[in-house]
Amino acid sequence: MKFGILILEGPYQHEASDSAYQFAKAAVEKGHEILRVFFYQDGVLNSTKLMEPQADDRHVQKMWSQFAADTGTEFIVCVAAAKRRGINDDVIADGFKIGGLGMLTELAIEADRVVTFRA
């Protein structure tokens, strides 16, 4: 099955990003394909390399960047939501790229299922 993932929450406000990561990881392990992960609204905060969690806390951005490197999954950060939150090409982490809502529309057309993670 081809999945699309939409993340609407930041990395530390709720469990949405963690749940999406676990879902994506499990789906790939079961042989499914993740076509694209689209970060929208506060979800764009997952993409910034400026986050510095405490040493004993998980580093959500690094988890996602490693997943992208391991699987080749495309991570798109909504340009409008990113600009509203001060995120641009200078602060975006490896594995993420900025794109528009048209890419979310394409994902909805191409994927068998789009799974949304929010609070």
Q: Which residues are catalytic?
A: 78
Torsion, Cα of 21, 96, 98, 30 (10° steps):
-40
What does the angle CA 40 – CA 96 – CA 87 come to, to the nearest 5 degrees? 60
- What distance in Å separates the CA atoms of residue 61 and residue 53, rounded to the nearest whole number? 10
Q: At what angle do helices 16-29 and 60-71 cross, to 10 degrees?
A: 20
Q: What is the DSSP string of 66-113?
A: HHHHHH--EEEEEHHHHHHTT--TTTBPTTEEEE-HHHHHHHHHH-SE
